[in-house]
Amino acid sequence: MPRAFFYMTHEVIILGGGCGGLSLLRELCSNYRSLLVEHQQLGGYASTRNQSWLHSGSLYSAFLARNELRQNVTASTEALSCLAQKCRGAFEELRSFCPEAFEDDSECLFLFETEEEGIKAAEKIGSLGLRADMLEPAEIIAREPVLSPLTTCPYGLATQDIPFDSYRILRKMVKEAHARGADFHVARVSLCDLAITFDNGLWRVREDGLTVAEAPVIICATGALTRKTMQCILNTDCALNLDTCLVAVLHDRICNRIIAMRSEAAQYLNLVPFDGGTAVNLGALDRHTCDVSDDPFDDEHYQNISETLNDFVPGLKLRSCQTNFYVCQKLSNTEDSSHPVSKFGTRHYFWLACRDNSFFFYPGKFTLAQVAAKAFVEHFNPTVQLPEQPKPVSIQPLSPPAISPRPYYDRATHVLHLSEKGELEFEAVCG
Residue 296 has pLDDT above 80, yes or no: no
- Asked whether residue 429 is domain-assigned, the answer is no
- Asked whether residue 204 is domain-assigned, the answer is yes
Grouping H, G, I as helix, E, B as strand and the rest as coil, residue 242 is strand
What residues make up the domain containing 29? 12-46+167-239+334-379
Q: What is the DSSP string of 86-150?
A: HHHHHHHHHHHH-GGGB-TT--EEEEESSHHHHHHHHHHHHTTT--EEEE-HHHHHHH-GGG-S-
- Asked whether residue 188 is domain-assigned, the answer is yes
- Asked whether residue 359 is domain-assigned, the answer is yes
Total domain count, the chain: 1
Q: What is the rounded distance in angstroms from the CA atom of residue 247 to the CA atom of residue 269?
A: 11
pLDDT at 341: 46
- Asked whether residue 363 is domain-assigned, the answer is yes
Residue 240 has pLDDT above 70, yes or no: no
Cα distances (angstroms) measured from residue 114 to each of 48, 118, 204, 328, 364: 29, 7, 57, 31, 30
pLDDT at 4: 40
The model's pLDDT over 36-46, given as tens digits with 9 standing for 90+, comes to 998 877 776 66
pLDDT at 45: 61
- Asked whether residue 154 is domain-assigned, the answer is no
Residue 353 has pLDDT above 60, yes or no: yes
3-state helix, strand, coil in the chain (%, to 5): 30, 30, 40
Confidence (pTM): 0.85
The model's pLDDT over 179-235, given as tens digits with 9 standing for 90+, comes to 998 999 888 888 888 999 998 889 999 988 888 889 999 999 988 788 788 888 887
Q: What is the rounded distance in angstroms from the CA atom of residue 195 to the CA atom of residue 208?
A: 9
- Asked whether residue 37 is domain-assigned, the answer is yes
Question: The domain spanning residue 215 has which CATH number?
Answer: 3.50.50.60
- Poorest-confidence range of 93-97, 262-266, 405-409? 405-409
- Asked whether residue 369 is domain-assigned, the answer is yes
Residue 281's pLDDT band (boundaries 50, 70, 90)? confident
